[in-house]
Amino acid sequence: MALNVVIGAQWGDEGKGKIIDYLSEKSDYVIRFHGGNNAGHTVINKFGKFALHLVPSGIFYPKTKVIIGNGVIVDLHVLLEEIKMLKKRGIKIKNKLFISPRCHLIMPYHKLLDSLYENAKGKGKTGTTGRGIGPTYSDKVSYNGIRIADLMSPKVFSEKLKIQLAVKNKILKALGAKQLSQANIERDFFSFREKIKAYVLEPLPLIKKTIKNNQNILLEGAQGTLLDNDWGTYPFVTGSTVLTGGINAGAGVPVDKIDNVIGVVKAYLTRVGEGPFPTELANNLGEKLKTIGGEFGATTGRPRRCGWLDIELLKFACFINGFTKLVITKLDVLDSFPEIKICTHYTLNGKKVNYYDGDANFLTKIKPVYKILKGWSSPTKGVTKYNSLPKQAKEYIKKIENLVGVKVKYISTGPKRDEIIKI
Ligand code: IMP
């Protein structure tokens, strides 16, 4: 049996979708354990190109089953559209997708509140995806959430909705927004209920059985370590626990069963939304990375900010998640850069400081210190053998391994499933 966890080591968009798709072949279950449709996992395989927001990326293999774990928050409209799209493109869903009844629902007022809170913050806004993520998680922790289990019983759903609307409509009114009608929400959600109920099942017995039978489980992380609600660059973070420990609370998977924690690292660094980014390249080089890397959000289409790889942040991600191996993605994007910089550490007033010594404001003051490496200036796109990589590309990989102390197991050299090196 193997229990593998895949976690984004940066600010999300590391290319986790492709890696999860690749690793899913040998997995009996692939489980999402946090986040919602703020995630956009791009998968390119023999069926075509997909941007999945809620359905776990393991869905494409005939024998792999997928679970939307209790820690995920669900926009049913988006989920049903995704299921429809997958079915239309020939992907089997029935008896393969299970949704925990404990998942909280993203309600229409959560989406409205997301943008109202962002507007209220003005220049200090987080730059959210606008999917209602923060307001849904805050209702969850303040015991105001509505769960899929509630929707399965229309009476319970209506009662809970009534209480929430009594409060939420007051807030919406105070903020100058349109108020919501119970009847309209019920009409939509009762129709969703009919379409979704076949997939709703408490997954814990399946997980226990899988562990007992020594089968393989893959936990699919979303977003990335630096967007974690506690350990990310707060308040420029997301609403969930994105770290390895999140699998326990968010999927009911015991942590003592973990075999591998795989950290996915882009060969450079990107961030969508606001917040500090010490190695950001707000110049031609950043533009070049964005263009070659196709750095536009899979969920919102927003351009991603680009910069050099930041080892200080990566070391932190390795420590906090307990990464046992790394995957480096998008190595080929650096092919035409004559010089490649790596930020090895930070200083403040001439003294060495760490990422965790301060907050988001502190990160705008530190100075990143770089090591300059010679680029390889030759194509690595589609390379599948480590020995076929140019010498400087191998040196780049070795440098990362040496600086963070974790071995690189896979290198992705293009978006397709087979454009990968296994070391
Ligand atoms: P939210 O998760 O929509 O509330 O957005 C909070 C922050 O997390 C914003 O900076 C978003 O751009 C960022 N974010 C959320 N999901 C993702 C993701 O899947 N990839 C990259 N950034 C994300």
Asked if residue 250 has its Cβ within 6 Å of ligand 1, the reply is no
Question: Where does residue 346 rank: exposed (0-12), middle (13-18), buried (19+ CB within 10 A)?
Answer: buried
Nearest CA to ligand 1 atom 15: 38
Q: Which amino acid type is present at position 184?
A: N
Band (255; pLDDT cuts 50, 70, 90): very high
Percent of the chain scoring above 90 in pLDDT? 95
pLDDT (0 to 100) of residue 140: 98
CB 352 within 8 A of CB 321: no
For 379, list phi and psi in degrees, rounded to 5: -70, 135
Domains and CATH numbers, the chain: 3-100+202-261 (3.40.440.10), 104-196 (1.10.300.10), 264-422 (3.90.170.10)
pLDDT of 41 reads: 87
Confidence class of residue 7 from pLDDT cuts 50, 70 and 90? very high
Please give the structure tokens belonging to residue 9. 């080591």
| CA distance to 11, 111, 208, per residue, from 271 (Å) | 6, 22, 37
In tens, the pLDDT along 277-334 reads 999 999 999 999 999 999 998 778 899 999 999 999 999 999 999 999 999 999 999 9
- Mean pLDDT over 99-127 rounds to 96
Q: What is the pLDDT of residue 28?
A: 96
Q: Is 0.95 topped by the overall pTM?
A: yes
Is residue 126 lining ligand 1, measured as CB closer than 6 Å? yes
pLDDT band at 407 (very low <50, low <70, confident <90, very high): very high
Specify the DSSP class assigned to residue 356: G
Q: Is 276 in the pocket of ligand 1 (CB under 6 A)?
A: no
Distance of CA 413 to the CA centre of its chain: 20
Greatest CA span in the chain, whole angstroms?
66
Indicate whether 155 pLDDT > 90.
yes
Residue 11, pLDDT score: 98
Confidence (pLDDT) at 316: 98
**Cβ(134) to ligand 1 under 6 A?**
yes
Mean pLDDT (the chain, rounded): 96
Kindly state the average pLDDT of the residues 6-18: 96
Clarify whether 34 is annotated catalytic: no
Output the CA 273–ligand 1 centroid distance in Å: 7
CB-CB contact of 4 with 19 (8 Å): no
pLDDT at position 301, please? 87
Q: Which among 5, 11, 4 is positioned nearest to 228, based on CA atoms? A: 11
pLDDT at residue 52 tops 80: yes
pLDDT at 222: 97
Regarding the beta carbon of 128 and ligand 1, being less than 6 Å apart is answered: yes
How far does residue 272's CA lie from ligand 1's centre (Å)? 7
- Predicted pLDDT of residue 297: 86
CA of 67 to the centre of ligand 1 (A): 22
According to the model, what pLDDT value does residue 253 have? 96
Average pLDDT over residues 31-43: 94
Query: What percentage of residues in the chain have a pLDDT greater than 70?
Result: 100
Taking residue 232's Cβ as centre, other Cβ atoms within 10 Å add up to: 20
Q: Which residue's CA is the closest to the ligand 1 atom numbered 11?
A: 128
Query: Which entry of 21, 28, 34, 41 is annotated as an active-site residue?
Result: 41
Q: Is 77 an active-site residue?
A: no
Going by C-alpha positions, the residue among 257, 324, 300, 243 that lies closest to residue 33 is 243
Q: What is the pLDDT of residues 214-243, one digit of tens each?
A: 999 999 999 999 999 999 999 999 999 999
Residue nearest to atom 9 of ligand 1 (CA): 128
Amino acid at 363: L
